[in-house]
Each structure stands twice: as C-alpha cells, then as structure tokens.
Chains A and B, each alone.
Chain A
Amino acid sequence: MMRNDPIKHVFIWPAVLVVLAISIFPLIYSLTTSFLSYRLIPPIPPRVVWLGNYATLLQEPRFWSALFTTTLIAFIAVGLQYAIGFGVALALNARVPGERLFRVALLLPMLLAPVAVALVARMMFNPTMGPLNQFLSKFGLVNLPFLTNGHWALACIIAVEVWQWTPFVILMMLAGLQTLPEDVYEAAELENASAWQQFWGITFPMMLPISAAVVFIRLIESYKIMDTVFVMTGGGPGVDTETLTLFAYQEGFKKFNLGYTSALSFLFLIAITIIGVTYLALLRPHLEKRR
C-alpha cells in the first residue's frame, strides 16, 4: 500500500468516528450545556448565559467548601494510604512468616464494593447501636458523635477510604519492591549501611517512579469520591462532608439543573488538571534525576 493510497481512509475513519462519538462529542455537548441556563425540572427552556454558570459557581461558597472538603479527604487519605501501604509492602517483602496469608487478607478490602463498605462503616459508627460507641460505653466513656459532627464525620470518611484503598498501594508497592535488584543491597551491606540508610539511599529513590504513579492514581480517584460519602453522611451535617461529585449529583439529579452541573463538571476537570500538572511538575526534577 502506498502512503497516499486512498484505501487508508477506510481503515482510519471508522476509528476516528468511534473516538469522536464516544469521547469527544459528549464532552462538547457537555461544554455547550455549561454555557446554558438549562433546567429539566421545573422545565425552563435553555437560554445562553455564556460564562454565567461559571461565574455563579465561583461565587458560590458551597462550591469552595466542597472543593476544600474533597481536597482534604484526598490529600489526607492518600498520604495515609501511601505511608501505611509502603510500610506494609516493605514488611511483606521481607518474607515474614505467614506472608501469603497476610497478602490475601490485606487485599480483601479493595475487592469489596465501596457502597457495601460504606454501609458497614455506617453501622460501625452508628451513634447508639454501633459497636464502636458500645465499646467506649463499656469503659464509661461518652458516646462520640461520629457521623453527626462535621469533624468526626470527615475523619470517619477518611478512615474508611484508608481502610479500603491502602491494599491497592500495598499491591503496587510490593510489585515494585520485588523488581529491585538484589546486588545493590548486597553492596550496601558490604559498606555496613544500616537498614534506615538502605531505605533512604536505595529503596525510596528507586521506588520513586512507581510511588509517583501510585499516589497520582489514588489522588485522582480520591477526588472522585462519591459513594462512600453518599452512604455514610449524605454530605452532612449541613454540607460539612459534601464533596464535589456529591455536589454535582445534588445539582444534576436532584435539582436537574443541567447547565450549572455541566459547568461544575468542567470546573472539577480544571481543578483536577491543575492538581495533576502541579504534582507532576513538582516531581519531575526528582524523577529525571533517576533516569
């Protein structure tokens, strides 16, 4: 086949059309909707407001509160997941007795549906019937307002996120640890390097690329948190635990405010992009040093 053979179009265009149909057109439609004042209920005919929805959103304290809550959950949860996950992966990599059992048991939370996990957590943290408060009561301690106080509720959501997604970090870090070359460690031991020195001098730098990828994936995923918050607190008390996705759900599927919700989705996309780009920019010098 020649470079300018028209037959090439037969092979290329179907693929291009499929990509356009399933990813680009919905995005364009959503972007167009974000410039409209468009409600399904009560039915209001679409009206072009250009950047009106964006301006309203940026002046909306609830949007900033949701962004702050989401960022807080994402950064604290992912930080803890990484620290605990890396630690556990190191322990499992050291071939402790019963390592296989630990490996399977520690991976189980990740296999459960987030909704089921959130339901169980909701029962665990139930103020009157939950085992946690019953346990505290046995020691004469007061019942804690786990899901009825904003700070406690946020802490509970973070705890559930950490419990469920640390196994993912363990899995990825363990896979990375198992690819590290043995001879580097043997050389370090000959130099009498302590375990701590080996970790900071060899393990951590060599694991940096995979760490960067794991944290990036988890960060993006954590920003999309919805099911856990929806089931555990519904965004309450007030809007103390309302995340961006939950805010978008309330606007889109409760109030059917489509234009506003589309604008919110695009602002969400912009926020995630800024965070992702900043994160990669900050890490780039360290990653390039490793090459």
Chain B
Amino acid sequence: MLRRTFLMLTTSLAMACAAGQANAACSPDYTGVTLTVASQTGPYIASALKLGADEWAKKTCGKVNVVEFPWSELYPKIATSLTASDATFDLVSFAPAWLPDFVPYLSEMPKEMQSGKDWDDIEPAYRERLMVWEGKIYSQSMDGDVHTYTYRTDLFSDPKEKDAFKAKYGYDLAPPKTWKQYLDIAEFFQRPDKGLWGTAEAFRRGGQQFWFFFSHAAAYTNNPNYPGAMFFDPETMDAQINNPGWVKGLEEYIKASKLGPPNALNFSFGEVNAAVAGGQVAESIGWGDTGVIAADPKQSKISGKVGSAMLPGSDEIWNAKTKKWDKFPSVLPGPFMAFGGWQIAVPKAGKNQKAAWDFVKTLTSPEVSGQAAITGGSGVNPYRKSHTANLQLWSKIFSPEEAKEYLGAQSDSINAKNVALDMRLPGYFSYTEVVEIELGKALAGQTTPQAALDAMAKEWNRLTDEFGRAKQLAAYRAAMGLPPKN
C-alpha cells in the first residue's frame, strides 16, 4: 500500500513538474488560441506576419493564421468584416489611409503598450502622427513607408558618363536635387538599343500608381509656409489637386513615363523593382523595398551598385493661401510618406483581443521587425530608430557605403522638417479612385494634365460635400497634425 502511494505521489510530482515546464515555455500562455490575421497576398507583408507568427508561437504557444487577399481585395474584405461586426479576423493589416474608415470598429491600443523603450524607439513620424487618430491610438505601424530615390552607382561613378553628362547638361552627374535634374538623368541614360532606360515608376491603375504621382507633386505643393495644404485647403476643405503645383507634378510624372522601359504604363511597383534589380534602369523612385531587393545578389543584377538618396525637391512651392509660388533660398527636399507603411490593428469584435495585442507587441518588437526589415521581399521598411541605427544589421545585405546611403535616405526622409504626409480621409477609396481614372487618361494622352486635375478636383469637392464638409475638414486637419478649427 505504502509502495503504491509513493509511486502515485512520484508520478503526480513528475507530471506537475512537466506541466510547470510547459507553462514556463509559454509566456504568456496562449496555448489553444489561434489568431486570424488579414493580410495582402505575400510575400510582401504576409511573410513578415508569418515571421512574427513563428516568434509569437515559440513564445506563447499560440497560433497565428495569416489569411491573404490580393491588394485590390484587401480593403473590401476588411471593411465588410468590420462593418458587419463579425469576428472573422482577430487582427487586420492595412494602409494608414484606411484608418479613418476603420476607426469606429477598432479597439484602442492598451495603455501599457504606449510607453517604454520599444515605444520610444518608433520614429516620431509614425508614433506621433500616422498611428494617431483624434488623439487616440488604434493601430501599430509594422512597416515604414517613405518614397526615396534609388540609382546605379556604377553608372553614376563612371568617368565617361560623368563627363558626357556634364558636357550635355552643364552640371555634375549626381543624385538629383530637383525633379528637373531627375528627368535630365533619365533622358541621358535612355538607351533602348543597349537595354538601358532612364527611370522606372508605377503607372498602372491599381498598381500603386497614384503614390508615385503624389511624390512628384509633393515637391511643389507641400508648402511649409502653409502646412497641411497639399491635398486640401485646411481652412475651407477646397480641393487643391488642380493648382499649378499639382499641374507641374503631373506634367513631370507624364514625362517620366516616356523615359522608362517599353510599356512602362503597365508597371506596378513589382515591375519597378524587377526593372531596377534587372539593371534595366539608371534610376527610380519608390519604397525602401527597391533598395533591399536591388542589393540582394539572389534577386538582382546590380547588387553592390545600389545608391540611395532622398526624393528630389524644389525651390519653388505653390502657396494655396496666397495662390502664388513661394520662392525659397535653396532647394527644399520633398520626401513623401507614400502609403505611410502597413499598420496592424485589433477589431473591437475580435474574441482574442488580449492575445491579439500581445502578437502585435512581438511582431513589432525591435528584434523581430529588425529581422523583417533586412529580409528582401518582406515588405517591411525601417520605422524604428533602431532599424536605421544598427548598421551591423544591414551589413548582411548592403556594402557599408550602400547601407550608409540607404539608411541615411530613409532616416533623413522620415525626419525631414518638410516631410509630406499621405492623405488620410474617410472615404479614401472614393477620393483616390477618380485620381486613378484621370491619371490613366492623362498618361494615355486622352486628356491634358490640367483637364485631368480639374476633373479630380471637381469630384473631390463633390465627395467632400456628400460626406459632410465640416466632418471631412476636421478629419483632414487631424490627419495633417493640425489643431481642430474653432
């Protein structure tokens, strides 16, 4: 009897120890919890979510199921689920521009996540601006997005090219300071007979096209003398998209479309990256992915020859208040936070909100996100100070010179005083749809730039009236970081 009791006690003790060890491995313990995340089709972002999911599973014993949708389907899928208040998704990953539409259906970030070392490590442009809506935080950046300039250092440092360029244009061949120089460089390297073209940008409807156009226009419309007036007049909410600054931006965007590979009009950002990594173009603009992919010897023919810089700018910027061009003593760089980086949020209707926010914490931790940022094709670009400060991290993919330029361009753009924020407004898709349609017509030569922009402005004003001008004005001012209007 005594022997049997001893045996039972020993067995119970052993089992208790084993269970204790298992629980210790899961901290916090989310065994049996499966989170469903809505994402765009991989590899971009979906692979980063899977990387985060693996780490979270190791830490908490929970599971994450990443459900992928094509980019064009993501908004309707998330919006349908949120407005129906169903619990299909525990987390949703989306563009910051959609945040105003989704806010009524999202839970607020737990207060304890809004402080500490990891919190302060997030670049202020994201932490204090893009993640904030009407003073509250509903989402967490999981990617940093700003358009930068990429070029081939082998071409730019070639003495023959440098001499020929200077002889033709009268100034040194170097990363452009203005969009005029950008187009000069594109024109100079336009050599179809040698399989080399000037530049690559996205021009295809539904192919992230309008952000490239916005990048051109930002240099002429984001005036520090009248902040927040790039898209709308922040006093009246009148559309600004047809002012002379935007016209200049569109004219140059159309010129760029003629200095790219054949049928560049069909390029989305994926094709831009392929053209750059394939060594087909001398320069390009786009998100940070371009530099990372171009530097990767497995994906690129120009690995080791990748230079980066901030977007070109202008010394003349349209003032929407005075309706005149403001002249500046020197060229102001025109960085544009195109798209603004993927964000992740937890719907109010979610059944595992605590676990979901814990997953966000792991996913966006400096370690996990840092690893994603240096993985080509993850779609994650630097959004933390530690991402750009840690040169060692980037030495895996870049040469020291490449890393210095790439990280410098990213950091300088995000932290530039005159960085232009992307439009965030309720009814975002209604506003951008008309931009895509009219851009398509202007690029195809079916309409003039001014007529295309006039059509956009007319529709933007109509939409603003339909959605409620006062409500939209308040939202726009909040998105642009301006105080509420009395």
Contacts and interface: CB of A to CB of B under 8 A. Distances in A.
B253 to A, nearest CB: 15
Interface residues of A, number: 29
A43 interface: yes
B437 A238 contact: yes
Contacts of B79: 40-41, 256
A62 B266 CA distance: 22
B101 to A, nearest CB: 5
A253 B76 contact: yes
B265 interface: yes
B437 A255 contact: no
Contact of A255 (B263, B427, B468): B427
Interface string B384-395: 000000000000
B126 interface: no
Contacts of A235: 205
Interface stretch (B56-64, B151-159, B168-176, B440-448): B440-448
A149 B204 CA distance: 12
A126 B271 CA distance: 12
B205 A234 contact: yes
Contacts, number: 80
Interface stretch (A6-14, A140-148, A175-183, A280-288): A140-148
Contacts of B76: 253-254
Given A145-B265, A238-B440, A40 B83 contact: yes
B101 A148 contact: no
B437 A254 contact: no
Given A40-B83, A42-B101, A234-B205, A127 B262 contact: yes
B430 interface: yes
Nearest to A250: B433
A42 B437 contact: no
Given A237-B205, A237-B443, A238-B441, A41 B433 contact: no
B263 A127 contact: yes
Given A40-B83, A44-B467, A239 B429 contact: no
Contacts of B263: 127-128, 143, 145, 148
Q: Which of A148, A236, A256 has the most CB of B within 10 A?
A: A236
Interface in B251-272: 261-263, 265-266
A79 interface: no
Interface in B404-463: 426-427, 429-430, 433, 436-438, 440-441, 443-444, 446
22 contacts: A42-B100, A42-B426, A42-B467, A42-B471, A44-B467, A127-B262, A127-B263, A128-B262, A128-B263, A143-B263, A145-B263, A148-B266, A234-B72, A234-B205, A236-B204, A236-B205, A236-B206, A237-B441, A238-B446, A250-B433, A254-B433, A255-B427
Interface of A: 39-44, 62, 126-128, 143, 145, 147-150, 234-240, 250, 253-257
Given A235-B205, A254-B433, A255-B430, 12 more contacts: A40-B79, A41-B427, A42-B101, A42-B426, A43-B104, A44-B467, A126-B266, A237-B205, A237-B265, A237-B440, A237-B443, A238-B444
